[in-house]
Amino acid sequence: MIAPEDMEACRAMIRTGSLSFHAASRLLPARVRDPALALYAFCRVADDDVDEVQDKTHAVLRLRERLDLIYAGAPEARPSDRAFAAVVQDFDMPRALPDALLEGLAWDAVGQRYRTLSDLHAYSARVAAAVGVMMCVLMRVRDPDALARAADLGLAMQLTNIARDVGEDARAGRLFLPLEWLDEAGIDVDGFLADPGPSPALGTVTARLLAVADDLYRRSGAGVFSLPTDCRLGIAAARHIYAAIGKEVARAGHDSVSRRARTSRA
């Protein structure tokens, strides 16, 4: 069981750091909502711990050490680690799932770029689809079809985030759009990263990515009905909120360089 003080720290972390998920989580039953907030808090801390330091490779190694301690039942004295350790124990969380997340963060640490959509899917499977599958574990769902649809939803959300954050990422020297698509659009990657700016060509690439995300959102829809009845509304809400971010990017002419798309809840 998650200690009350650790649970409150996780709630505060998500309340300020992930408005979209926080809004959707309020529609989940408490038996799922609290462990889900603990899961997302650990994922958020892990991402920040890699993103916000100079020695990113060392940060990933430290995360792996922390995950070892979590699975040994002896987490470090951090609310997110203690809370996730309780989740791991209470739900028998397969180690391969958070390991996949850390592998994706290791790719972030070395500034990995992705030539094809398939390459980008491989990355997104690690940092997002794995989280979707972990959410199923929290709902006590292990049906293979339901897990596949949860992975689709995680992929869709990650592609939406990438489309939303093109400018923010570029200004930080990061690029997640498929290099093959940028080449086809005639975009010079080094020139764009040196001076990020919107363009019709970049807009077509962003639109293309959102079209892939929309297909994944549609495919994920059937999976909602495989979930426990009292969990469906919360997951459907998350699906709707993230899909709406993509629609907001489209309304802005697929320009997510000049501005970052937001909905009323994101």
At 262 the pLDDT is: 57
State the average pLDDT over residues 10-30: 88
Q: Which of 10-19, 109-118, 241-250, 257-266 has the lowest mean pLDDT?
A: 257-266
Nearest alpha-carbon partner for 47 in 124, 109, 120, 125: 109
At 264 the pLDDT is: 41
CA separation (Å) from 198 to 111, 131, 152, 154, 171? Answer: 22, 31, 29, 27, 12
Residues sharing a CB contact under 8 Å with residue 111, sequence separation 6 or more, in sequence order: 173, 174
State the average pLDDT over residues 110-135: 97
Amino acid at 175: L
Q: pLDDT tens digit string along 140-177?
A: 999 999 999 999 999 999 999 999 999 999 999 999 99
Q: Is the pLDDT of residue 1 over 70?
A: yes
Tell me the domains of the chain and their CATH numbers.
Answer: 1-94 (no CATH), 113-266 (1.10.600.10)
Q: Counting Cβ atoms within 10 Å, is residue 63 exposed (0-12), middle (13-18) or buried (19+)?
A: buried
Amino acid at 48: D
For residue 172, how many other CB atoms are within 10 A of its CB? Answer: 12
Look at the chain and count its residues. Answer: 266
Residues sharing a CB contact under 8 Å with residue 189, sequence separation 6 or more, in sequence order: 175, 179, 182
Instruction: Indicate the pTM of the whole model.
Output: 0.92
Residues sharing a CB contact under 8 Å with residue 96, sequence separation 6 or more, in sequence order: none
Q: Which of 47-61, 77-91, 189-203 has the lowest mean pLDDT?
A: 47-61
By the 8 A CB rule, do 236 and 224 touch? yes
